[in-house]
């Protein structure tokens, strides 16, 4: 999911094993034009019908990433306004050796997400791990990115795990009891509310075990005049990415939403410290999805994404709440983005 691989790394719960996976997240790889029979993904359908019936209306951000959505996200990562990917990569190239010094050689790198981003090779080259374990809900992406990495690192044992890392997972027995370094780049954690992020961090600590480390990318709070353009770029790629969700509903769930009657909105919610993306109606609309009728009056929105931002102390507090003790932190000269190394330590007795 970064470039493309970054899109992949987000926790995606809705995966259905179907022959023609137009509706699944795996679709990014397999939703070819020749695949004309649309088999609706039941989790996608349930989320869309419930989300359009709820007030406020909201559809989970993970459904952005069909094939087209993953391509658009990849394009977003190359936009001049979207600093996140570029800055995180530069922090990692500048400090991968520091990470290696703090983890020591021979650890097992466990990536939460399929790891097809350019960041993974940067980390693997620096830390010289004894094995690499990518975890992803999509077996298809796992196999693709594992094959690509195997070419680049022919000596490195790679043990992909297909599963939902929102819950504790068994790691492959082949890795033995080597020290573990979790890797969760991209500020993917920003899509989650604080409560969900804490649950995820605790699940990661359970999966990796005490004494493990975690290298996580977290986007910083910054002025709205930098944040807003990152989510509302001049070329309109992010608008297209947001609106693609409606096209996807029409394609996969037999919908007839009038996509032209919706506009992309990105706004900074200062109370919640997050960028919110919405789709706002420019006039009253009525449509059906899988036979279910809906109406939205002019100026109302469907909330499609949260991207939470964290100040330096906020990020460390989040990690501690999630059972991780921060041990080192690196940022760029402008403090736009942070890479934090944390350790799963036994909690000392509190006074």
Q: How far is the CB of 305 from ligand AVJ (least distance, A)?
A: 5
* Residue 84 lies near ligand AVJ (rule: CB under 6 A): yes
Q: How far is the C-alpha of 167 from the C-alpha of 134, rounded, in Å? A: 15
15 vs 191, beta carbon nearer ligand AVJ: 191
Buried-state track 196-231, b at ≥16 Cβ within 10 A, e below 16: ebbebbbbbbebbeeebbbbbbbbbbbeeeebebbb
Residue 53's DSSP bridge partners are: none
* Residue 141 lies near ligand AVJ (rule: CB under 6 A): no
Please identify which residue in 11, 43, 75, 76 interacts with ligand AVJ, judged by CB under 6 A: 76
Please identify which residue in 185, 186, 255, 322 interacts with ligand AVJ, judged by CB under 6 A: 186
Q: How far is the CB of 76 from ligand AVJ (least distance, A)?
A: 5
Structural contact between residues 135 and 170, judged by C-beta atoms closer than 8 angstroms: no
Structure tokens that stand for 253 in this block: 């769930």
Q: Among residues 344, 350, 8, 348, which one has the least CA distance to residue 202?
A: 344
Structural contact between residues 227 and 309, judged by C-beta atoms closer than 8 angstroms: yes
3-state secondary structure of 245: helix
Please identify which residue in 28, 74, 307, 310 interacts with ligand AVJ, judged by CB under 6 A: 307
SS3 percent helix, strand, coil of the chain, rounded to 5, is 40, 25, 35
Structure tokens that stand for 76 in this block: 């977003």
Q: How far is the CB of 18 from ligand AVJ (least distance, A)?
A: 25
Structure tokens that stand for 285 in this block: 């609309």
40 vs 69, beta carbon nearer ligand AVJ: 69
In the bound state, the residue with its beta carbon closest to ligand AVJ is: 307
Structure tokens that stand for 239 in this block: 């608008």
147 phi, psi to nearest 5 deg? -65, -40
Distances (CA, A) of 24 to 43, 44, 52, 169: 9, 8, 20, 22
23 vs 190, beta carbon nearer ligand AVJ: 190
158 vs 319, beta carbon nearer ligand AVJ: 319
Binding map of ligand AVJ across residues 2-21, x = CB under 6 A, - = no contact = ----x---x-----------
Q: How far is the CB of 85 from ligand AVJ (least distance, A)?
A: 8
Return all residues near 341 (Cβ < 8 A) that are at least 6 apart: 99, 102, 103, 213, 214, 215, 326, 327, 328, 329
Q: Which stretch binds ligand AVJ (CB under 6 A): 21-29, 135-143, 186-194, 286-294?
A: 186-194
Angle made by CA atoms 86, 190, 129, in degrees to the nearest 5: 60
* Residue 304 lies near ligand AVJ (rule: CB under 6 A): no
Neighbours of 59 (CB within 10 A): 24
111 vs 343, beta carbon nearer ligand AVJ: 111
Give the alpha-carbon dihedral of 124, 127, 133, 136, to 10 degrees.
-60
95 vs 308, beta carbon nearer ligand AVJ: 308
Please identify which residue in 138, 188, 212, 301 interacts with ligand AVJ, judged by CB under 6 A: 188
15 vs 244, beta carbon nearer ligand AVJ: 244
Q: Which stretch binds ligand AVJ (CB under 6 A): 18-26, 106-114, 118-126, 188-196?
A: 188-196
Please identify which residue in 114, 120, 191, 207 interacts with ligand AVJ, judged by CB under 6 A: 191
Q: Which of residues 201-240 bind ligand AVJ (CB under 6 A)?
A: 231, 238
Q: How far is the CB of 188 from ligand AVJ (least distance, A)?
A: 5
Structure tokens that stand for 107 in this block: 């650890």
Q: How far is the CB of 191 from ligand AVJ (least distance, A)?
A: 5
Q: How far is the CB of 187 from ligand AVJ (least distance, A)?
A: 4
Structural contact between residues 9 and 24, judged by C-beta atoms closer than 8 angstroms: no
**Contact positions toward ligand AVJ, by CB under 6 A?**
6, 10, 76, 84, 186-188, 190-191, 231, 238, 305, 307
């Amino acid at each position: 999911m970064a470039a493309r691989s970054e899109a992949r790394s987000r926790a995606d719960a809705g995966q259905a094993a179907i022959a023609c996976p137009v509706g699944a997240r795996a679709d990014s790889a397999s939703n070819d034009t020749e695949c004309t029979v649309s088999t609706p993904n039941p989790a996608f359908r349930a989320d869309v019908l419930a989300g359009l019936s709820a007030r406020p209306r909201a559809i989970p951000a993970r459904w952005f990433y069909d094939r087209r959505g993953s391509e658009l996200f990849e394009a977003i990562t190359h936009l001049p306004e979207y600093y996140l990917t570029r800055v995180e990569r530069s922090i990692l190239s500048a400090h991968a050796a520091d990470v290696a010094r703090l983890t020591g050689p021979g650890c097992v790198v466990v990536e939460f997400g399929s790891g097809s981003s350019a960041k993974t090779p940067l980390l693997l080259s620096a830390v010289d791990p004894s094995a690499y374990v990518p975890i992803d809900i999509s077996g298809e992406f796992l196999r693709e990115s594992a094959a690509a990495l195997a070419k680049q690192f022919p000596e490195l044992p790679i043990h992909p795990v297909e599963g939902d890392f929102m819950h504790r997972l068994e790691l492959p027995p082949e890795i033995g009891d080597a020290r573990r370094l979790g890797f969760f780049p991209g500020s993917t954690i920003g899509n989650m509310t604080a409560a969900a992020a804490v649950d995820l961090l605790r699940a990661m600590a359970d999966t990796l075990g005490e004494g493990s480390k975690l290298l996580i990318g977290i986007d910083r709070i910054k002025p709205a005049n930098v944040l807003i353009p990152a989510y509302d770029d001049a070329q309109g790629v992010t608008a297209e990415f947001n609106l693609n969700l409606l096209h996807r509903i029409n394609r996969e769930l037999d919908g007839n939403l009038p996509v032209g009657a919706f506009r992309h909105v990105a706004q900074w919610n200062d109370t919640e410290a997050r960028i919110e993306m919405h789709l706002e109606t420019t006039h009253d609309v009525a449509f059906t999805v899988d036979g279910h009728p809906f109406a939205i009056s002019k100026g109302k929105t469907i909330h499609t994404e949260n991207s939470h931002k964290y100040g330096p102390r906020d990020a460390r507090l989040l990690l501690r709440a999630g059972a991780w003790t921060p041990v080192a932190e690196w940022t760029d000269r402008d403090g736009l983005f942070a890479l934090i190394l944390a350790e799963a330590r036994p909690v000392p007795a509190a006074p």
